[in-house]
Structure formats: structure tokens, C-alpha cells
Amino acid sequence: MNQPQPVQASGSVQAIVIDELTAAVVPVLQRRLRDALTTNGPDLVVDLEQVQVIDTAGIGLLIAAKNSAVEQQGQLRLVNVPSAVFNLLKTMRLAGCLNAEPASNDSDEDLERYFEEARAA
């Protein structure tokens, strides 16, 4: 498993999450996002393009990061959200709250393939 990597991006901090956003990586990412808010300001952009797995701990982290940014008069944006993750956030009524932007290259075919693979497992 690769570690999430925060980078500076045009006045906001962009965190690139690799592979998964699960309980296994939440403690590391939580510390890095907290440090980024303290050091670089309240605006966070989280790139979820490579996320293949997300669990409730990961969703909780995103909500906590959003709340922390708002407390500091900033905002959280999720970019390149894979269709399966975006649809989960929509179902949970969190896509708008978390400023989630779907990946432009995702399609309904990708989502169908994801569900077929999940059913087969």
C-alpha cells in the first residue's frame, strides 16, 4: 500500500490519496491533513483519482477534514472522484457537502463493471 502524499497546489493543499481510503491509512492521512491545515491554510483539495476502496473510516475522515477546513474559514474539495465512490457519496447525500467533483473519464460502463466485479467476488 502506498502512502498518501500531500503537495502544495496554488494556494491550497492538495492531498493525493493512493489506492485506498480506509481505516488502515486514516491515521496517517489525518495527521498530514491536520498539519497541512495548520501550516498552509484552510483550503484543502483531495484528489481521489486512484482510490479503489473506501470505507466508513475514510468517509469519516473526509467529513472531519471538511469540518476542520470550514472552522478555519476554508473549504474542502474532492476532485477526480471515481464513479463508484461518487455514487456512494451521492447515495449518502454527501457529494454536495464534500464538494465532490466526479472524474471526467468515468462512465456508466465503469460503474457497471465495478458492480459486476463486486457481485462476482
pLDDT digits 0-9 by tens, 6-25: 444 455 667 777 789 999 99
Residue-by-residue DSSP string for 33-76 = HHHHHHHH-S-EEEE-TT--EE-HHHHHHHHHHHHHHHHTT--E
> Are residues 53 and 84 in contact, defined by beta-carbon separation less than 8 angstroms?
no
- Residue 83 sits in a domain whose CATH number is 3.30.750.24
- The model's pTM is 0.76
Query: Structural domain tally of the chain?
Result: 1
Q: Strands 5-9, 53-54: parallel, antiparallel or unpaired by DSSP? A: unpaired
Domain that holds residue 52: 5-120
> Are residues 69 and 38 in contact, defined by beta-carbon separation less than 8 angstroms?
no
pLDDT digits 0-9 by tens, 44-64: 888 899 998 999 999 999 999
